[in-house]
Amino acid sequence: MANRKPYQLVSREWKKEDTTFEINGVCIGKDLVMIAGPCAVENREQIFTISEYLSKLNIKFLRGGAYKPRTSPYSFQGLKTEGLQLLREAADKYGLAVVSEIMGLDKIDEFCEYADILQVGTRNMQNYPLLKALGKSGKPVLLKRGMSSTIEEWLLAAEYIVSSGNDRVILCERGIRTFETATRNTMDIAAIPLVKILSHLPVILDPSQGTGLRDLVKPVSLAAIAAGADGLIIEVHNQPEEALSDGDQSLYLDQFTDLLPNLRAQAHLRKKHFDFESSYEFSNLS
């Protein structure tokens, strides 16, 4: 039967088996990947404290914005190059891989030097020159879904990267705009199993941007793994009330620890490899 989808290379029709690739000892698309860290890198103490904590839980991926796409030009815009340097230093010290958002074409060389996974934010999902350049960058890309984009538009954005020569793409559902204002975005959980049917690429979920509320991060994370997600990207902060961005949706460090045994149970049901915080047992479930 002819392939009627507008996207080709990213489609399940093109390639039946799941795309998997290894980064920092984790097989993305097969193992459960956990990316955690603050919304933004704020200072050395913050990023080193969080990194040390995460490494003790055996987390392998550190997130942190160095260039922040803020709605208001008066909000904290990130530490920029210094932020990337701090991420790299902390990550190297604690055995982590760096995930950070790239906003513009002019920063590709800088990001290739300091980051391990280049994140494309929701606002840039349709920045086609950037997507094409990332296709040639040789670095894995975390592609957020545009907040007002359909699943087809999102997969076509991924097609830009893959057709430019880079098949190490991780899709990330991060909630969409609807009439609902009680949550920051509306978490489209159904997108996860649907994209797993339509595409062979790994799909993870961002419950932090998706809900905007830290109390919703745990239940939505569990729902995502049950729905078939290959992992999560979660905002975690040592002092959320002092955070320069997204404090309300950032987990306290002990809240993040508490999430792990619960996730382990879900991962077990899905036969997903899970090796975080080995001292936790099922009896810790809450």
- Site residues (vs Mn ion, CB under 5 A): 39, 246
DSSP letters, the chain, are: -----S--TTBTTT--SPP-EEETTEEETTBPEEEEE-SB---HHHHHHHHHHHHHTT--EEE-BSS---SSTTS----THHHHHHHHHHHHHHT-EEEEE---GGGHHHHHHH-SEEEEPGGGTT-HHHHHHHHHH-S-EEEEPPTT--HHHHHHHHHHHHHTT---EEEEE--B--S--SSSSB--TTHHHHHHHHBSS-EEE-HHHHHS-HHHHHHHHHHHHHTT-SEEEEEB-SSGGG-SS-GGGPBPHHHHHHHHHHHHHHHHHTT----S-TT--GGG--
| Per-residue contact flags (x/-) with ligand PEP for residues 75 to 114, judged by CB under 6 A | ----------------------------------------
Q: Give the C-alpha separation, 181 to 215, whole Å.
A: 16
Q: How many residues contact ligand PEP, by CB under 6 A? A: 9
Q: Considering the rule CB under 6 A, would residue 149 count as an interface residue with ligand PEP?
A: no
Q: Considering the rule CB under 6 A, would residue 214 count as an interface residue with ligand PEP?
A: no
Q: Considering the rule CB under 6 A, would residue 39 count as an interface residue with ligand PEP?
A: yes
Q: Write down how long the chain is.
A: 286
- Closer to ligand PEP by Cβ: residue 241 or 281: 241
Q: Considering the rule CB under 6 A, would residue 174 count as an interface residue with ligand PEP?
A: yes
Residues 115-134 that bind ligand PEP (CB under 6 A): 121-122
**Contacts with 4 (C-beta within 8 Å, 6 or more apart), sequence order:** none
Taking the complex as a whole, how short is the minimal distance between the CB of residue 276 and ligand PEP, in angstroms?
21
140 binds, among Mn ion, ligand PEP, none (CB under 5 to 8 A by kind): none
Taking the complex as a whole, how short is the minimal distance between the CB of residue 286 and ligand PEP, in angstroms?
27
Give the CB-side neighbour count of residue 209, counting CA atoms within 13 A: 25
Taking the complex as a whole, how short is the minimal distance between the CB of residue 32 and Mn ion, in angstroms?
22
Taking the complex as a whole, how short is the minimal distance between the CB of residue 89 and ligand PEP, in angstroms?
20
Taking the complex as a whole, how short is the minimal distance between the CB of residue 65 and ligand PEP, in angstroms?
5
Which residue is nearest to ligand PEP, using beta carbons? Answer: 121
> Could you say which of 37, 65, 78, 202 contacts ligand PEP (CB under 6 A)?
65
228 binds, among ligand PEP, Mn ion, none (CB under 5 to 8 A by kind): none
- Closer to Mn ion by Cβ: residue 10 or 220: 220
Q: Considering the rule CB under 6 A, would residue 209 count as an interface residue with ligand PEP?
A: yes
- Closer to ligand PEP by Cβ: residue 199 or 208: 208
Taking the complex as a whole, how short is the minimal distance between the CB of residue 101 and ligand PEP, in angstroms?
6
Q: Give the C-alpha separation, 104 to 106, whole Å.
A: 5
The binding site for ligand PEP (CB under 6 A) comprises 39, 65, 69, 121-122, 144, 174, 206, 209
